[in-house]
Amino acid sequence: MPATAIPRLLDHYRQTARELPWRTPPGSNEPADPYNVWLSEIMLQQTTVATVTPRYRRFLERWPTIDDLAAAPLEAVLAEWAGLGYYARARNLHACARKVAAMGGFPTNETGLRALPGIGEYTAAAIAAIAFGEQATVVDTNVERIVARLHAIDRPIKDTRPQIRALAADLFADGPSGDIAQALMDLGATICRPTAPRCDACPLAGVCKAYASGTPEAFPPKLARTAKPERHGTAWIIEQDRNIFLVRRPASGLLGGMAALPGTDWRDGEPLQAPLPAVRHVFTHFALTLQIESRDAVPDDIDGWWQPIDRLEEAGLPTLYAKAVAVWRASEREPSLIA
């Protein structure tokens, strides 16, 4: 990599950096707040900047410091997280906040950060570099794609991660890791995109082998998508006096600890052949069709609580069950939807 490549990248970053509420602008003398960096990095896992930005602001309004978050009940954190998905992140977020508060602050290096709940290799490197100015190699999906294109790696990323990480280390070797990481993140999000890359605007185009090939979008090669397994289940709407009966899912597993509608287990195979409204939701490893059945009474073996319908948003239903309630409400207004 030519010695001028990283200075060009950083100059481009200083001129075009995205304004993000968790980011300290490049060139600022104000240090980044590790709480803000950590919170944003956890929220941004598998979730877009557009979705995270308003939720991040709301989260900070409610819990401005790590101590505030550590003191909050887990149920409140899960409810606030509702709609962001991947709910293990929220449970780990709360556990991490409590551990950091007990320690008196975040560790400042990758090793210490990796020991905290919910913080893996990438997140530890990002926090160490951005919040504490430590030298680190910060490799997320954007960086993987950029490196694969710079070197025209013609095998899927999953098969070349050690090679990509070694090549990425060269990018971080002679400069401020935090600024380089954020410059690469912006480059991957706005220019070196998965499809339709804007190579004409890229500060690294002159040293990019994929660009030189004439087909930059071909790198890295994409894996063929496989169909997700289909599962099916039933959610029960039990309503009394403008209240809906809710339960809490088991602490571990999918949607762990979240408020939910009672219902059957989710199973493989064919759905029930019944004229019921339904919602379909795609998880990471399978797709679920959930039929919605109105019931008159709560089964004796189920524990839960009655939630007023006009305060349903306070329960923090995850997207799956929020969609199910919306479909039920629509079917109540238009009974023909059930047919």
* Averaged pLDDT for residues 143-154: 97
In the chain, the amino acid numbered 3 is A
227 band by pLDDT with thresholds 50, 70 and 90 = confident
Element housing 114 (H / E): helix 110-114
Domain ranges, residue 301: 230-338
For the stretch 60-94, pLDDT in tens is 999 999 999 999 999 999 999 999 999 999 999 99
Pairing of strands 230-240, 287-295: parallel
Both tokens of residue 197?
């890359």
> 225 in a domain, yes or no?
no
Q: Which of 170, 194, 218 is the last residue of a domain?
A: 218
Q: Which of 184, 218, 252 is the last residue of a domain?
A: 218
> 89 in a domain, yes or no?
yes
Number of domains the chain contains: 2
Does the annotation count 41 as an active-site position? yes
98 band by pLDDT with thresholds 50, 70 and 90 = very high
Closest to 143 measured CA to CA, from 220, 85, 217: 220
Q: Taking the chain, what is the end-to-end CA distance rounded to the nearest angstrom?
A: 64
Closest to 249 measured CA to CA, from 303, 292, 295, 319: 303
CATH number at residue 264: 3.90.79.10
**pLDDT attached to residue 333:** 65
Question: Which of 19, 30, 41, 110 does the annotation list as catalytic?
Answer: 41
